[in-house]
Chains A and B, each alone.
Chain A
Amino acid sequence: MSELVLEPFRLPYMQRALAEVLLLGVLTGVAGVFVVLRRLAFMSDALTHTVFPGLVVAHLAGRSLALGALAFGVLTAVLFTLLAANRRVGSDAGMAIVLTALFSVGVVLVSRQHSYTSDLTLFLFGRVLTVDRADLVTTLVLAVLVLAVLAVLGKELVLRAFDPEGSTAMGYRGVVLDLVLNLLIALVVVAAVKAVGTVLVVAMLVVPAASARLLADRLAGMTILSCAFGVLGGWGGLLASYQLSVRGGLRLAAGATIVVVLVACFLAALAVAALRGRDGAQAAAP
């Protein structure tokens, strides 16, 4: 049994892939807590779409993909924060339009190349098995940066998530805090893009944290659980996709398999939470 589990990771490319998904699991686990508590799932999804043309432009210009993604990610994080202020159209509609428009820019640029369809696939779904050392370093740097900022600004961001009006009343500028968080999420998207592609990053941000929320009553517990689920999903998905491909002859995209494992964890958490009932027996004394 242990042979089954260990065998794939003797190969260098699998080792790199594993390192990448473990790192991402922790990063998206922590960031995901804020995404879920601040209800930012849509914005995260939107960011994955708007980062796509950045990838294309960088690819066409022969520059680092991370740089292209970063430029577009930062730009749209700012744009989305500002869009939230237009009440007439609603921030959701604005984001939906911006995300499809930018995505279309990417598609148009890609469509004029001969490598159209394979490029599209790479950007959308990533190829975690082709992660190299440079990619690992990029991910590590971004992870350290994001986690550091989240540690430092954590209490203010949690306050803003819990009681936006109260945080403003205490003197914190909501727009600034929102912008910082949105930028951090953009960085996480950039970090995860090469491995799992733009489409599946949302899963890594939302699913582990949502699972953790079902089981944890405190923020600290929720964060730890979220990381645990993220790491489990990454490792389990890689393992499953490798074994199924080698032994079962089923060629399944690694990134997608990771997401399936994460969703399975969520369903398990849902079942556990349902069995436990709501909140246990905390009787409120007057």
Chain B
Amino acid sequence: MSRREPRRRETALAFDRAAVRLGGRTIWSDLSLSVAHGQFVAILGPNGAGKSTLIKAVLGLVPVVRGSITVLGRAPRAARREVAYVPQADTLDAEFPVSALQVVLMGRYPRVGWVRRPGRADRAAARDALDAVGLAGQAGARFGTLSGGQRQRVLLARAIAQEPRLLLLDEPTNGVDAVSQQLLLLALQRLRADGAAVVVATHDLGLAHLACDDVCLLNHHQVGFGPVDETLTPELLRAAYGGQAIELGGQGVIVARP
């Protein structure tokens, strides 16, 4: 896997007072945050807060109506080849006739380019990626026969195979078994150590605590952004969640930190 020196000074992702509209509504506005290379940032907030929309905005799938979003120093759509996206596995057709390895190979297509087929190096990279998520033995299995957690790991492997500089994940731990969650996290840590920036949209507070450097609290507007310890405070959490019950490690709990 190619290694780039983590350019800590250059940001991988920057929002500057950005606002987006979707279906005639402003989803969120005045959002400012930055993610450096090698950083792991969580976008936290209750359901419907606009987390998925944020991910889509980074991918250039949602128009920015004010301010700007800069991805790897460029406009979102220009940066797509170096940005990898991991959707939730249950959005995909479980009956599709593809194997796990074939799914991971799809991540190589931007590199392989048009017309040509993936070569030996690509297949090796795909197998490495499957190995990184602990599924080396399942390369030949049909995607749909794997468990939910395994499928999510395959999708992460696909993103790894893309050798991205920025990785976006949408609720990666949703409905995923504990073992898969651990393996997912391990793989993400490794990616980050190699210099990629990781952004996770999630409502899982435990994930943010465990793995992230910075956190952005979102509820249609920016409630807070900064290092985990400074941002996951009772006041800010209450402002973001409005005192609702919040997921914590799979159980519903009202957050109150000492």
A–B contact, 8 Å CB criterion (strictly below): yes
Question: Chain A residues in contact with chain B, CB under 8 A?
Answer: 37, 152-153, 155-156, 158-159, 161-163, 165-166, 168-171, 213, 216-219, 221-222, 279, 282, 284-286
Chain B residue contacts of A170, Cβ below 8 A:
80-81, 85, 106-107, 109-110, 162
Q: How far is the CB of B137 from chain A (nearest CB, A)?
A: 7
Q: Which residue of A lies closest to B143 (CB)?
A: A162
The yes or no answer to B99 lying at the interface (CB within 8 A) is: yes
> How far does the alpha carbon of A65 sit from the alpha carbon of B114 in the complex, in Å?
34
Chain A residue contacts of B200, Cβ below 8 A:
none
Question: Which of B97, B114, B142 is within 8 Å of A153, CB to CB?
Answer: B114
B162 lies within 8 A of A165 (CB): no
Given A165-B85, A169-B59, A286-B147, is A219 in contact with B109 using a C-beta cutoff of 8 Å? no
A166 lies within 8 A of B85 (CB): yes
A218 lies within 8 A of B99 (CB): yes
Chain A residue contacts of B180, Cβ below 8 A:
286
Given A168-B61, A170-B81, A218-B98, is A159 in contact with B147 using a C-beta cutoff of 8 Å? no
Interchain residue pairs with CB less than 8 A apart (8): A155-B109, A166-B106, A170-B80, A213-B97, A216-B97, A218-B98, A286-B179, A286-B180
4 nearest A-B residue pairs (beta carbon): A169-B85, A171-B80, A282-B145, A284-B147
Q: Which of B61, B96, B99, B107 has the most CB of A within 10 A?
A: B96
A171 lies within 8 A of B87 (CB): no
Size range of the interface on B?
Answer: 35 or more
Given A171-B80, A284-B145, A285-B137, is A165 in contact with B87 using a C-beta cutoff of 8 Å? yes
Chain A residue contacts of B146, Cβ below 8 A:
284
Chain A residue contacts of B93, Cβ below 8 A:
162
A156 lies within 8 A of B109 (CB): yes
A286 lies within 8 A of B97 (CB): no
> How far does the alpha carbon of A126 sit from the alpha carbon of B115 in the complex, in Å?
36
The yes or no answer to B150 lying at the interface (CB within 8 A) is: yes
Given A217-B97, A217-B142, A286-B177, is A171 in contact with B110 using a C-beta cutoff of 8 Å? yes
Question: Which of B87, B150, B162 is within 8 Å of A163, CB to CB?
Answer: B87
B87 lies within 8 A of A222 (CB): no
B137 lies within 8 A of A163 (CB): no
> How far does the alpha carbon of A156 sit from the alpha carbon of B93 in the complex, in Å?
17
Q: How far is the CB of A161 from chain B (nearest CB, A)?
A: 8
> How far does the alpha carbon of A231 sit from the alpha carbon of B150 in the complex, in Å?
39
Q: Which residue of A lies closest to B85 (CB)?
A: A169
The yes or no answer to B83 lying at the interface (CB within 8 A) is: yes
Q: How far is the CB of A103 from chain B (nearest CB, A)?
A: 32
B97 lies within 8 A of A221 (CB): yes
Q: How far is the CB of B125 from chain A (nearest CB, A)?
A: 15
A162 lies within 8 A of B162 (CB): no
A171 lies within 8 A of B81 (CB): yes
A218 lies within 8 A of B97 (CB): yes
Q: List 12 additional contacts besides A162-B93, A163-B92, A163-B106; criterion CB under 8 Å.
A: A152-B114, A155-B109, A159-B109, A162-B106, A163-B87, A169-B59, A171-B110, A219-B97, A222-B97, A284-B138, A284-B145, A286-B150
Given A162-B96, A163-B106, A213-B97, is A282 in contact with B147 using a C-beta cutoff of 8 Å? no
Chain B residue contacts of A37, Cβ below 8 A:
96
Chain B residue contacts of A162, Cβ below 8 A:
92-93, 96, 98, 103, 106
User: 1/0 contact trace for B214-244 toward A, CB 8 Å?
Assistant: 0000000000000000000000000000000
Q: How far is the CB of A269 from chain B (nearest CB, A)?
A: 14
Chain B residue contacts of A213, Cβ below 8 A:
95, 97
B91 lies within 8 A of A165 (CB): yes
> How far does the alpha carbon of A207 sit from the alpha carbon of B84 in the complex, in Å?
36
A282 lies within 8 A of B83 (CB): no
Chain A residue contacts of B103, Cβ below 8 A:
162
Q: How far is the CB of A80 from chain B (nearest CB, A)?
A: 22
Question: Which of B80, B98, B114 is within 8 Å of A219, CB to CB?
Answer: B98
Chain A residue contacts of B98, Cβ below 8 A:
158, 162, 218-219
User: 1/0 contact trace for B120-132 toward A, CB 8 Å?
Assistant: 0000000000000
The yes or no answer to B141 lying at the interface (CB within 8 A) is: yes
Chain B residue contacts of A156, Cβ below 8 A:
109, 114
The yes or no answer to B117 lying at the interface (CB within 8 A) is: yes
> How far does the alpha carbon of A266 sit from the alpha carbon of B138 in the complex, in Å?
31
Q: How far is the CB of A158 from chain B (nearest CB, A)?
A: 8
> How far does the alpha carbon of A168 sit from the alpha carbon of B76 in the complex, in Å?
12
> How far does the alpha carbon of A284 sit from the alpha carbon of B112 in the complex, in Å?
31
> How far does the alpha carbon of A187 sit from the alpha carbon of B87 in the complex, in Å?
34
> How far does the alpha carbon of A171 sit from the alpha carbon of B81 in the complex, in Å?
6
Question: Which of B87, B117, B137, B177 is within 8 Å of A155, CB to CB?
Answer: B117
> How far does the alpha carbon of A131 sit from the alpha carbon of B97 in the complex, in Å?
36
Q: Which residue of B lies closest to A152 (CB)?
A: B115
Q: Which residue of A lies closest to B77 (CB)?
A: A171
Q: Which residue of A lies closest to B95 (CB)?
A: A213
Given A168-B59, A170-B162, A213-B97, is A159 in contact with B141 using a C-beta cutoff of 8 Å? no
